[in-house]
Amino acid sequence: MGEAYFYHLTRSRLEQALPKLVSGAMGRGWRVVVRGRDEKMLDRLDEQLWVFPKESFLPHGRAGGPRDADQPVLLTTAADRPNGAECVVSVDGADFGDDELSDLPRVCVVFDGKNPAAVKTAREQWRRITGAGHVAKYWSQDSGSWQLKAESGG
């Protein structure tokens, strides 16, 4: 059974935090799906992954192409994982299934602490998965770096 990590953005924007989270997952040897709800947001993230951080390269692609299965990181609005991802990164309130938490090592929920709707959605997701007995960890960047603030389930 996997774990859900909730990343509460208070000091950086998604475009700054996402490359680091994706890079960390890839460092574990995982393929990643970045799941959003808005194509325009995914377009911005796609651009950002090509240029940040400048000293490394994060190979990735947008879903819907002929080589989705080959992509180490795939950006999508769909609920599937055509690249066989072991990690799903949910952005912009994108949903994920309980089956994914059972099948994958990690689901990451990244949400903007300055957006009340995003905070509400993340809280609802936390309650849903911890209520189902899954492990969830809440990470905050209030001090500048990610710190574990709460843990539940398991």
pLDDT for residue 1: 75
Q: Domains in the chain and their CATH numbers?
A: 3-152 (3.40.50.10110)
Q: How many CA atoms lie within 13 A of 94 on its CB side?
A: 25
pLDDT in tens, 29-83: 999 999 999 999 999 999 888 886 666 778 899 999 899 999 999 999 999 999 9
Q: Tell me the two tokens of residue 14.
A: 């998604």
Q: Is the pLDDT of residue 154 over 70?
A: no
Residues above pLDDT 90, as percent of the chain: 77
